[in-house]
Structure 1
Amino acid sequence: MSNYQHIREEAYAANMQLPKLGLVMFTFGNVSAADRAAGVFAIKPSGVPYEELSPANMVIVDFDGKTVEGNMRPSSDTLTHALLYKTWDTVGGISHTHSTYATAWAQAQQDIPIFGTTHADHNTVDIPCAPPMSDEMILGNYEYETGNQIINCLKEKGYDYKEVEMILVGNHAPFTWGKTAAKAVYNSGVLESIAQLAMLTLQVNPGAPRLKEALIRKHFERKHGPDSYYGQA
């Protein structure tokens, strides 16, 4: 048995959640699961339909994007995942989808405003949209530069990747991350829901106001603060 069976199974299970949650179609999207101690991650093979996936065909890649184990070509987004893992030392899973509403906001090159408590349950700020990539970056190592695009956007906005676990890449699509692959997929689902609600909000009222700060703090802290009381102990 592979030394990396645990992350093969984790990545497989997470990838299979994407179509189940309606976040992908055909071969769109991918999820990876990292073993930080070993310095590797398992990721979906490129262009393989979800119904044909198995733990055995997840590809093991190191944090420089080099294949360590596996006979299939890894996802075309592998270098993006690799750079994020290499730069952010607490991330254990990364999810990339082309889900409808989040991708629409990315194509519009717009941050998703914080309009309601559903958003505030997960973030205290607008969901950032990284600016479109420069021609120089596009002509260079494109997938690697997508990682830089994500990292640089959060730095410029002063956001901590441990607190803001989702982003839109301008003209492209969303990426999310978390301590596990399952959390990264959870964040993909949350982001899609927030994106849909925000779009509908603006259709109902194009001048809808942002959620007031007191409600932002209340809803975020009751789930994530030092005195949180949401859920079970």
Structure 2
Amino acid sequence: MSYQSIKEECLAANLALPRTGLVDLTFGNVSVADPERRVFAIKPSGVAYDALTVDDMVVLDYDGNVIEGTLRPSSDAPTHRCLFLHFAGIRSVVHTHSRSAVAFAQAALDLPVLGTTHCDYFNGPVPVTRTMTPEEVGGAYEWETGKVIVERFAGIDPMDVPAVLVRNHGPFAWGASGAKAVENALALEIVADMAIKALSLNPAAPAAPGHLLEKHFSRKHGAGAYYGQAG
């Protein structure tokens, strides 16, 4: 059974991260899943981006077993696996330590909806998770990170808000493909940077009104979307 297609998509998405400026050193990783076969490919742990090849990608099943690859998978693989198991419709997860998004995670603040750039990608604030307990950190830490993200999304459609800020840690984003997940991670960093600058000018900057959020999000997403070209 070949996993070549998801390994190639995973490599392409990982190589896109340094080109976007979203990662420093070896921080960050992308996974790409085949939900029907319940497997996903992910970047190997600690390998420099400019050294990655398609054969370096590690394939795991949804139970966490390595089924192809000789390198150790990203240490964040259990978090990715948890999101694939709980968030229907996603095929790729991106984790970075991009600086502006991390600033909100470290400040323990949701990323507020201040303007239309945010509205185009996220149908509401990007939420920050709660602080993890000593038991969660001392146990199956990366799996528990995923569980805390899932907990925070109670009542939030992960396809409407395709990103989260893990408190004291950093952002995870996701999408229907590797390319889309990277795009969402980049959009998150862009709007986080804009928000920091806006709030530095006016700490009381009001949220964008709901009707503006609804208009901008719906014109790019859903059955009535009309932004861009058909197909």
The TM-score, its normalising length taken from structure 1, stands at 0.96
Q: CA offsets, 1:134-155, max 9 Å, x none?
A: 1111111000000001000011
Counterpart CA distance in 2 for 1:121 and 1:46 is: 33
Contact 1:64 1:79 in 2 (8 A): no
Aligned to 1:65: 64
Match of 1:230 among 205, 209, 227: 227
Counterpart CA distance in 1 for 2:224 and 2:42 is: 36
Report the residue type matching 1:138 in the other structure: V
> RMSD of the alignment, in Å?
1.1
Aligned 1:120-199 pairs, distance under 5 A: 120-155=119-154, 158-199=155-196
Aligned to 1:210: 207
Query: Unpaired segments of 5 or more residues in structure 2?
Result: none
Deviation, structure 1 residue 226: 3.2
Counterpart CA distance in 1 for 2:14 and 2:202 is: 36
Deviation, structure 1 residue 228: 2.3
Counterpart CA distance in 2 for 1:207 and 1:83 is: 36
Contact 1:33 1:181 in 2 (8 A): yes
The TM-score, its normalising length taken from structure 2, stands at 0.97
Aligned 1:7-46 pairs, distance under 5 A: 7-46=6-45
Identity %: 48
Counterpart CA distance in 1 for 2:213 and 2:88 is: 28
Runs of 4+ off more than 6 Å: none
Counterpart CA distance in 2 for 1:12 and 1:152 is: 30
Counterpart CA distance in 2 for 1:225 and 1:48 is: 38
Aligned to 2:53: 54
Counterpart CA distance in 2 for 1:3 and 1:214 is: 47
